[in-house]
């Protein structure tokens, strides 16, 4: 089912004209409402009249997380606090959190894009949707919640954690949809196995997973272990939260709700737009938000866009699975390494579990990488020689994929800490020195 066919299947010309009008309105509004933006535009020699269509977007200055921090907490709001009905914040690992304010209309828009996303994922109003994203300042729980209610499906607002209870409710309430981070989905699958739960007795059929990067190999693992279709959903608090884009049942890129969020891909070094279809950093301009519109916000997420119409009938531009973040990219002895590359290698090996931790240290001037990876129960109790062979196999495979040597440590199942939210897979001790 397509929730808003007129928009989701609009022609490129229709979409461009909607976007251009909304972009112009947004620029007018922020120029007059926020001295910070006005100053930035004046410095670039721009007035709102210079921004007539989406083609003019590239003239505008970028916004970064640092701009949000400089204006902490409410400096980029374009409306008085009396019109803000909700605040969310992303837990910055360093410094102050990033705060976002929503007006009533923003919450309606957010619900609409999440409802569209659920329909893309194949969810119907007769589904029972277990929301195991965290509720609170994190946008995952409440964002999906409002969109699910708007669709008319039944919500189980369980939030993250308490895995035994999650499984009990799936069995007793007959949840047909689970929403959580992909790493938590694996965690649930693991506990189910331990408890001897037969997935055939569950009604689960769809999982809507996001909030962290995950690979195709991880998708396969989750789909097999839970017996469901695993759909990728993307978003970030600064732009709205989950629902910025989502995959449809064809699982071939996430449809961006581009009548609200205008995407661009830039080269993170030169800051120039890349050629159509090329990989780069995703940048968004919100064109309908009232509370805190953002102009050319640099997400740091790496992806590329697909413009062709999808087999589902939607014409909304698609973004491929995120490769990671430009700031996730590790430079180890001069070589660029993404944690997703390591994940792909590990998931090809049936002997190991998809739970790993990468520790990077500096000894003198040399970077060293240690990978802790869990071995499956039946292999761990095996002979030392076999474990040694397995360790060598992983080491060789990683070396040929990454081009650097990695010190592989095989650990017992459950050694690596499980989380109910975003998984932490890298500890870079070089940053701590
Ligand atoms: O993670 C919003 C969200 C909640 C999205 C639930 C999907 C589901 P933040 O906490 O602000 O917001 O983190 C945003 O998480 O810039 C990406 O780096 C990463 N991210 C989010 N979704 C995906 C995804 C929420 N599907 C940051 N694939 C983003 C890869 C993702 N990375």
Average pLDDT value for residue range 242-254 = 98
Distances (CA, A) of 273 to 15, 239, 263, 279, 305: 20, 20, 11, 10, 12
Same domain, 394 and 307: no
| Any domain includes 107 | yes
Same domain, 211 and 86: yes
Q: Name which residue sits closest to atom 21 of ligand 1, judged by CA.
A: 211
| Any domain includes 348 | yes
Distance 314 CA to ligand 1 centre (A): 23
**Predicted local confidence at residue 338, as pLDDT:** 87
Write the DSSP symbol of residue 273: B
- Say which CATH number the domain at 85 has: 3.40.50.12780
C-alpha torsion sign, points 307, 321, 2, 136: negative
Same domain, 366 and 298: no
| Any domain includes 23 | no
CA–CA gap between residue 388 and residue 123 (Å, rounded):
46
Average pLDDT value for residue range 400-405 = 90
Same domain, 272 and 339: no
- Which DSSP helix (H) or strand (E) runs through 413? none
Residue 31 · residue 41 · CB < 8 Å:
yes
- pLDDT confidence bin for 433, thresholds 50/70/90: very low
Same domain, 136 and 246: yes
| Any domain includes 135 | yes
Q: Is 360 helix (H, G, I), strand (E, B) or coil?
A: strand
Mean pLDDT score of the chain, rounded to an integer?
A: 94
Q: Identify the CA nearest to 391 among candidates 381, 406, 401.
A: 406
Mark 10-44 as b/e (b = at least 16 C-beta within 10 Å).
Answer: beeeebeebbbebbbebbebbbeebeebbebbeee
CA–CA gap between residue 205 and residue 217 (Å, rounded):
19
Same domain, 155 and 291: yes
CA–CA gap between residue 394 and residue 402 (Å, rounded):
12
Distance 92 CA to ligand 1 centre (A): 13
| Any domain includes 305 | yes
Q: Name which residue sits closest to atom 14 of ligand 1, judged by CA.
A: 236
Q: Which of 278, 301, 327 is the last residue of a domain?
A: 327
Same domain, 377 and 286: no
**Predicted local confidence at residue 396, as pLDDT:** 96
Same domain, 127 and 169: yes
Q: Which atom of ligand 1 is nearest to 321's Cα?
A: 28
- Tell the burial category of 417 from Cβ atoms under 10 Å away from its Cβ (0-12, 13-18, 19+): exposed
- pLDDT confidence bin for 21, thresholds 50/70/90: very high
**In a mutational test of the pocket of ligand 1, which residue from 160, 207, 213, 235 has the highest number of ligand atoms less than 8 Å from its CB?**
235
Note down the domain range covering 390. Answer: 335-428
Distance 344 CA to ligand 1 centre (A): 20
> Phi, psi at residue 410, to the nearest 5°?
-85, 130
Is beta strand 206-210 parallel, antiparallel or unpaired with respect to 177-180? parallel
Q: Which of 305, 327, 349 is the last residue of a domain?
A: 327
- The position carrying tokens 């869990």 is 374
Distance 235 CA to ligand 1 centre (A): 5
Same domain, 237 and 95: yes
Same domain, 265 and 411: no
Q: Name which residue sits closest to atom 6 of ligand 1, judged by CA.
A: 140
Largest CA distance in the chain: 73
Same domain, 319 and 370: no
| Any domain includes 400 | yes
Q: What token pair was written down for 246?
A: 């989502």
> pLDDT tens digit string along 122-161?
999 999 999 999 999 999 999 999 999 999 999 999 999 9
| Any domain includes 111 | yes
Using a 6 Å cutoff on CB, does residue 131 contact ligand 1? Answer: no
- Which DSSP helix (H) or strand (E) runs through 28? helix 12-33
Using a 6 Å cutoff on CB, does residue 210 contact ligand 1? Answer: yes
The whole-model pTM stands at: 0.92
Q: DSSP labels for 379-409?
A: HHTS-HHHHHHHHHHHHHHHHHHHSS--EEE
Using a 6 Å cutoff on CB, does residue 234 contact ligand 1? Answer: yes
Alpha helix (H) ranges present in 81-129?
Answer: 104-120
**Predicted local confidence at residue 184, as pLDDT:** 94
- In 277-420, the DSSP E strands lie at 280-286, 297-303, 305-306, 318-319, 324-325, 330-332, 335-337, 352-363, 366-375, 407-411
> pLDDT tens digit string along 307-338?
999 999 999 999 999 988 887 888 888 888 88
Q: Name which residue sits closest to atom 12 of ligand 1, judged by CA.
A: 236
- pLDDT confidence bin for 378, thresholds 50/70/90: confident
Distances (CA, A) of 293 to 42, 144, 243, 301, 337: 18, 21, 16, 19, 34
| Any domain includes 93 | yes
C-alpha torsion sign, points 56, 62, 68, 71: negative
Angle at 383 between CA 381 and CA 389, to 5 degrees: 110
* Non-local CB neighbours of 301 within 8 Å, separated by 6+ positions: 234, 236, 281, 282, 322, 324, 325, 326
Q: Which atom of ligand 1 is nearest to 208's Cα?
A: 8
**Predicted local confidence at residue 363, as pLDDT:** 83
Q: Is 119 helix (H, G, I), strand (E, B) or coil?
A: helix
Write the DSSP symbol of residue 349: -
Same domain, 291 and 212: yes
408 forms beta bridges with 371
**Helix orientation angle between 12-33 and 35-43, rounded to the nearest 10 degrees:** 110
- In 44-153, the DSSP E strands lie at 84-90, 98-103, 128-131
Average pLDDT value for residue range 235-243 = 97
Per the structure, how many domains does the chain have? 2
- Say which CATH number the domain at 341 has: 3.30.300.30
Q: Which of 299, 327, 355 is the last residue of a domain?
A: 327
pLDDT higher than 90, residue 206: yes
Using a 6 Å cutoff on CB, does residue 184 contact ligand 1? Answer: no
CA–CA gap between residue 247 and residue 234 (Å, rounded):
9
Q: Identify the CA nearest to 2 among candidates 290, 313, 378.
A: 313
C-alpha torsion sign, points 199, 205, 209, 213: positive
pLDDT higher than 80, residue 381: no
CA–CA gap between residue 15 and residue 392 (Å, rounded):
53
């Amino acid at each position: 089912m397509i929730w808003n066919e007129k928009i989701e299947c609009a022609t490129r010309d229709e979409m461009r004209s909607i976007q251009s009008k909304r972009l112009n309105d947004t620029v007018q509004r922020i120029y007059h409402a926020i001295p910070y933006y006005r100053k930035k535009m004046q410095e670039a020699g721009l007035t709102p009249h210079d921004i007539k269509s989406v083609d003019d977007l590239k003239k505008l200055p970028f916004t970064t997380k640092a701009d949000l921090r400089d204006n902490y907490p409410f400096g980029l709001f374009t409306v008085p606090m009396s019109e803000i009905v909700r605040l969310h914040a992303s837990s910055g690992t360093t410094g102050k959190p990033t705060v976002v304010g929503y007006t009533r209309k923003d919450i309606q828009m957010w619900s609409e894009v999440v409802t569209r996303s659920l329909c893309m994922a194949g969810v119907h109003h007769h589904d029972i949707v277990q929301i195991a994203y965290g509720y609170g300042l994190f946008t995952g729980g409440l964002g999906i919640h409002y969109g699910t209610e708007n669709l008319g499906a039944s919500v189980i607002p369980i939030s993250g954690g308490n895995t035994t209870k999650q499984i009990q409710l799936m069995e007793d309430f007959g949840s047909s949809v689970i929403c959580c981070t992909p790493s938590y989905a694996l965690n649930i699958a693991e506990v189910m196995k331990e408890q001897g739960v037969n997935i055939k007795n569950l009604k689960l059929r769809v999982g809507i997973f996001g909030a962290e990067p995950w690979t195709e190999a991880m998708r396969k693992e989750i789909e097999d272990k839970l017996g469901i279709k695993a759909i990728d959903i993307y978003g970030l608090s600064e732009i709205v939260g989950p629902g910025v884009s989502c995959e449809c049942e064809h699982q071939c890129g996430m449809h961006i709700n581009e009548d609200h969020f205008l995407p661009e891909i830039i080269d993170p070094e030169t800051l120039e737009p890349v050629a159509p279809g090329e990989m780069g950093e995703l940048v968004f301009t919100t064109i309908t938000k009232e509370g805190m519109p953002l102009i050319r916000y640099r997400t740091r997420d790496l992806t590329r866009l697909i413009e062709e119409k999808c087999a589902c009938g939607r014409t909304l531009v698609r973004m491929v699975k995120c490769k990671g973040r430009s700031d996730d990219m590790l430079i180890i002895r001069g070589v660029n390494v993404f944690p997703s590359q390591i994940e792909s290698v590990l998931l090809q090996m049936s002997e190991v579990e998809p739970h790993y931790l990468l520790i990077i240290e500096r000894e003198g001037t040399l970077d060293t990488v240690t990978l802790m990876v869990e071995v499956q129960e039946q292999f761990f109790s095996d002979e030392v020689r076999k474990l040694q062979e397995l360790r060598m196999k992983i080491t060789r495979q990683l070396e040929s994929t990454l081009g650097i040597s990695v010190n592989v440590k095989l650990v017992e199942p459950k050694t690596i800490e499980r989380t109910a939210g975003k998984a932490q897979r890298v500890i870079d001790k070089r940053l701590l020195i």
